[in-house]
């Protein structure tokens, strides 16, 4: 993909360059699998807990296998202005609900639920620090935590087969000042004419695209440029997942 006209990004990256990315394994020792994922100044704890039962609706509908679900929250001190906890308002805000459903869908797309047996995997994503891309960082980190949890279950012989079909990661792309950018930080996301989140598998298949113009429209050509950047970014993130999980 050819480089667009020069744009000095907020953190001096190239238009097709990811933010510095790191995974710290076993960040929450009590969880079956956990990581601290850092992508630039966005830091998210992702942890997987195992419950040896399935939801009531699965029992009532006689659905075989297990279940995987997610919860997402931004800690009060994760942004400059304190964000009240959902429990203090008595309900989950719409954004958090949308994101945790996205995380759950993204992971279930690459997991054979039949191989889980009658158990539920709870994936908790808690944002420690937010600088754009918290949902994409949560998905990328949640997959790493899931793989660690599955390794533990296999080691304990609670699972006889690996239920994970392939890896998954997510990244943001957007159009800023008429130029496509990969992995937007907050100031870029705030000013983007188009903002898109892309979730993909290691085999290059799409799980979900979330994109919209912010009081703007975008062309088919601009969409193709953004998707090209997203493919590149996701491939790099999955390679980094493998690197840190192997270490």
The list of the chain residues with pLDDT below 70 reads 1-6, 87-90
Name the residue ranges covered by the structural domains of the chain: 21-246
Torsion, Cα 40 126 163 244, to 10 degrees, reads 30
pLDDT number for residue 243: 97
Could you tell me if 38 and 22 are in contact, meaning their C-beta atoms sit under 8 angstroms apart?
yes
The contacts of residue 75 (CB under 8 Å, 6+ apart) are 83, 126, 127, 128
Burial class (CB in 10 A: 0-12, 13-18, 19+), 150: buried
What CATH topology corresponds to 21-246?
A: Ribosomal Protein S5; domain 2 (3.30.230)
The contacts of residue 32 (CB under 8 Å, 6+ apart) are 48, 49, 50, 121, 148, 149, 152, 153
- Model's pTM, two decimal places? 0.93
pLDDT per position as a tens digit, 11-68: 899 999 999 999 999 999 999 999 999 999 999 999 999 999 999 999 999 999 999 9
């Amino acid at each position: 993909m050819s480089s667009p006209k020069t744009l000095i990004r907020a953190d001096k990256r190239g238009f097709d360059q990811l933010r510095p990315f790191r995974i710290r394994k076993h960040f929450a020792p009590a969880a079956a699998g956990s990581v601290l994922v850092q992508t630039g100044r966005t830091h998210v704890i992702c942890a997987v807990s195992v419950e040896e039962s399935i939801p009531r609706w699965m029992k009532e509908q006689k659905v075989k296998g297990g279940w995987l679900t997610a919860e997402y929250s931004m800690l009060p001190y994760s942004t400059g202005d304190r964000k009240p906890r959902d429990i203090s308002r008595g309900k989950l805000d719409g954004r958090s609900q949308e994101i945790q459903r996205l995380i759950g869908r993204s992971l279930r797309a690459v997991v054979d639920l039949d191989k889980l047996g009658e158990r539920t995997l709870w994936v908790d994503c808690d944002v420690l620090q937010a600088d754009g891309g918290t949902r994409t960082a949560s998905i990328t980190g949640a997959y790493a935590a899931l793989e660690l949890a599955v390794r533990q279950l296999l080691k304990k012989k609670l699972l006889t087969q690996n239920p994970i079909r392939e890896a998954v990661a997510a990244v943001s792309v957007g159009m800023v000042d008429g130029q496509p950018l990969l992995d937007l930080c907050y100031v870029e996301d705030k000013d983007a004419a188009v903002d898109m989140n892309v979730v993909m598998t290691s085999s290059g298949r799409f799980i979900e695209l979330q994109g919209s113009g912010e009081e703007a429209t975008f062309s088919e050509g601009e969409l193709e440029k953004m998707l090209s950047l997203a493919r590149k970014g996701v491939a790099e993130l999955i390679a980094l997942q493998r690197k840190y999980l192997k270490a």
